[in-house]
Chains A and B, each alone.
Chain A
Amino acid sequence: MAAQAPALASTKVSRRTVFKGLWKDNVARAALIVLACFYAAAALADLITPYGMEFNDAAYGNAPATLIHIQDEKGNLTAPYVFHMQQENDPVTYKQIFVILPDTKYPIKLFCKGDPYKLLGLIPMDLHLFGVDAPARIFLLGADMNGRDNFSRLFFGAQKSLTIGFLGLLIAFPIGIIYGGISGYLGGLADNFMMRFAEAIMSIPSLYLLIGLAAILPLGMSSSQRFALITVILSFISWASLARVIRGMVLSIREEEFVQAAKSLGMTDFQNIIKHVIPQTSSYLIIAATLQVPNFILAESGLSLIGLGIQQPDASWGNMLKAALDQPNELVNQPWLLAPGFLIFVTILCFNCVGDVLRDVLDPKLAGGR
């Protein structure tokens, strides 16, 4: 026990320096702040957004972004207001158009009452940060074909897209670590066999494997079941590469004297792996985890984009982008359809920036001349 105390203290100190190192770097600090904002927005989605995830107004199907007026007819500044819009067909082209009904002004209200919800899943509330009275709608990024608010759904989509990375890590990492650890520690025939299996998983291009795995999902599941199973699927494709690296590290660590010493003192193999070998790989693991989250986000959005992931009416950034895939010609008229794509990009960019700086801080050997 006495021998363990200083080791514990030293990890505590280094943890603080790691965060300090991250915070000192301008890019990493900006990335951390952006990510914090994203996660806060996802957590408080119900409060910030004017409408709930499943709220729809069929009369507003494919409506363009609502214009917010801040001037009255005479050009004087007033409190912001919007107009009610009505769907009509263009008499010449028969194209669906939306005309503004300029009779009534609907002022934008702050902290107004709207759809009831439970904040953070606990506190029942019906306050929304902003909104307008029905029948007018405030759709800042237009509505999808079912008349749902794209802007609100971005927040609800974030709840799924941003958490799936971490949930996936929680499954993939233990599998990868234990599999790689056992394989490397045992060596010989077992190692050979286990690694061939991991290689086989890695040798199927990941998207093809994803498509195959997504096909197993039975139809008619509840949305939370589906979310959970998709997380499992995404973890299934990412544990193998981690297991391989861990195995390589374990192969060299198990020759170290302290591991041999523990073995000769009668520690069982499994205990030895968990207690002595795996902690040695921790700094690699932290870096790998940060850099793996973007892959999960990307895989989820890819899968949802092609219609095999999160299903309507649930929102995820990937399945919101599906609107762009289904009607590419609309992209010119409705550029906001790509908004979820940009959020995915910004999120991944932030994770990559944090990961890069984290690598420099934790493992200067890997820094690669930067």
Chain B
Amino acid sequence: MSTFLYIIKRFIQAVPLLFIISIIAFTLLKCTPIDPLASMRANPSVSRSAIKAEEERLGLNKPAPVQYFYWAGNALQGNLGISSTGAPVIERLTAHAGNTLMLNILVILLTWTIALPSGIYAAVHRAQFIDKVFGILSAIGMSMPAFLLAFLLMVLALVTGLLPIGGLTSADFGELSFFDQVIDIAHHLIIPVTVLTCISLAGIQRQVRSNLLDVLRADYVRTARAKGLPENRVIYKHALRNAINPLITILGFEFAGLLSGAALTEMVLSYPGLGKLTLDAMLTKDMNMVMASIMMGAIMLVTGNLFADVLLKFTDPRISHD
């Protein structure tokens, strides 16, 4: 029950946070010298009455704080306005956010399935050859800018011709059967997933290793060994379980880092995700879209941290959150 209450409490705490974020983002965008409706005005296919309605809805003729409440009120009702193409912001936003979420979840799953065993192996075989190789690889991975790796894989794709070099779907996507569509998306996901996995893998493998090494020095591990438990049991049953807990907090942070790293990778690989959407919207001065996607990024990040906190509560009963 207390766990349930805790989840509710953390959820309620996230609300004022998002409120402050929205004020910051709104203030920021109000400082820009850009007319938020400029691109709509320039687009002849957006009717004059639609622009008028949008002006009315945003309260552009009123002072900025009032405009904020207009925006917030509309946003709470799910109305994020229309983008410069004339379509509602929310449609493209959800599609792109979904793509980013899919990419990030795949990356996190893949990262942890590789990082855990390799981190454990490196810790157990500390200072041996393989551990040193892992150490060098993770140092390289931690210093490698995601966009450089994306470029390198793109060159590889161009030279071999085996992989598509950008986007999420082929040109003939609409004509494919469902099964082929899945294959097509998977094919396009290989490069972005590889790039982001390599980048985040490096740091996490290091953390797994150093956490496990810390725990392996603990008294209860010595006790376990002293009473004659087989080494496998000591490592997997006694040490690993305790080494995992701090990693779950990292999982939350990792999600945050991924969102930003993914944004640049998305732009380089023209992957239709939230990052590319934000950049394109900013370049076309589509302010409704920029505001909405900044908020969406923040919501995903806050949710990610919340998720990690809740997970931690489940795995570590010692933690009492006050």
In chain A, positions 327-342 with a C-beta closer than 8 Å to chain B are 328-329, 331-332, 335, 338, 341-342
Min CB distance A331 to B, Å, is: 5
Enumerate chain B residues within 8 angstroms of A341, measured Cβ to Cβ: 145, 147-148, 151
25 contacts between A and B (CB under 8 A): A196-B16, A197-B20, A200-B17, A200-B20, A200-B21, A202-B256, A203-B17, A204-B21, A204-B298, A205-B263, A207-B263, A207-B264, A208-B297, A208-B298, A211-B290, A212-B29, A212-B290, A215-B29, A215-B290, A216-B31, A302-B145, A305-B267, A324-B151, A331-B151, A349-B140
Enumerate chain A residues within 8 angstroms of B21, measured Cβ to Cβ: 200, 203-204
Min CB distance B121 to A, Å, is: 15
Min CB distance A213 to B, Å, is: 7
Min CB distance B230 to A, Å, is: 23
Q: Is B239 interfacial (CB-CB < 8 Å)?
A: no
Min CB distance A108 to B, Å, is: 30
| Interface of chain A, main secondary structure | helix
Q: Is B301 interfacial (CB-CB < 8 Å)?
A: yes
Q: Is B213 interfacial (CB-CB < 8 Å)?
A: yes
Enumerate chain A residues within 8 angstroms of B25, measured Cβ to Cβ: 204, 212
Contact A215 B213 (CB under 8 A): no
C-alpha gap A357/B123 in the complex (Å) = 19
Interface pick from B64-72, B153-161, B178-186, B311-319: B153-161
Enumerate chain B residues within 8 angstroms of A305, measured Cβ to Cβ: 147, 264, 267-268
Among A200, A209, A213, A329, chain B packs the most CB atoms within 10 A around the CB of A200
Contact B147 A302 (CB under 8 A): yes
Q: Is B214 interfacial (CB-CB < 8 Å)?
A: yes
Contact B151 A306 (CB under 8 A): no
Interface residues in B, total, Cβ within 8 A: 56
Contact A370 B24 (CB under 8 A): no
Point out residues on B near A: beta carbons under 8 Å.
16-17, 20-21, 24-25, 28-29, 31-34, 123, 126, 139-140, 142-145, 147-148, 151-152, 154-155, 158-159, 165-166, 209-210, 213-214, 217, 256, 259-260, 263-264, 267-268, 275, 278-279, 282-283, 290, 293-294, 297-298, 300-302, 305
Enumerate chain A residues within 8 angstroms of B148, measured Cβ to Cβ: 338, 341-342, 344-345
The number of residue pairs between A and B whose CB atoms lie closer than 8 Å in the complex comes to 142
Q: Is A188 interfacial (CB-CB < 8 Å)?
A: no
Which chain B residue shows the least CB distance to A347? Answer: B143
Min CB distance B235 to A, Å, is: 15
Min CB distance A154 to B, Å, is: 15
Instruction: Out of B158, B278, B301, name the residue touching A211 (CB < 8 Å).
Output: B278
Contact B154 A200 (CB under 8 A): no
C-alpha gap A215/B290 in the complex (Å) = 10
C-alpha gap A370/B211 in the complex (Å) = 11
Q: Is A298 interfacial (CB-CB < 8 Å)?
A: yes
Enumerate chain A residues within 8 angstroms of B144, measured Cβ to Cβ: 345
Q: Is A116 interfacial (CB-CB < 8 Å)?
A: no
Q: Is A206 interfacial (CB-CB < 8 Å)?
A: yes
Q: Is A251 interfacial (CB-CB < 8 Å)?
A: no
Min CB distance A92 to B, Å, is: 22
Contact B279 A331 (CB under 8 A): no
Enumerate chain A residues within 8 angstroms of B142, measured Cβ to Cβ: 352
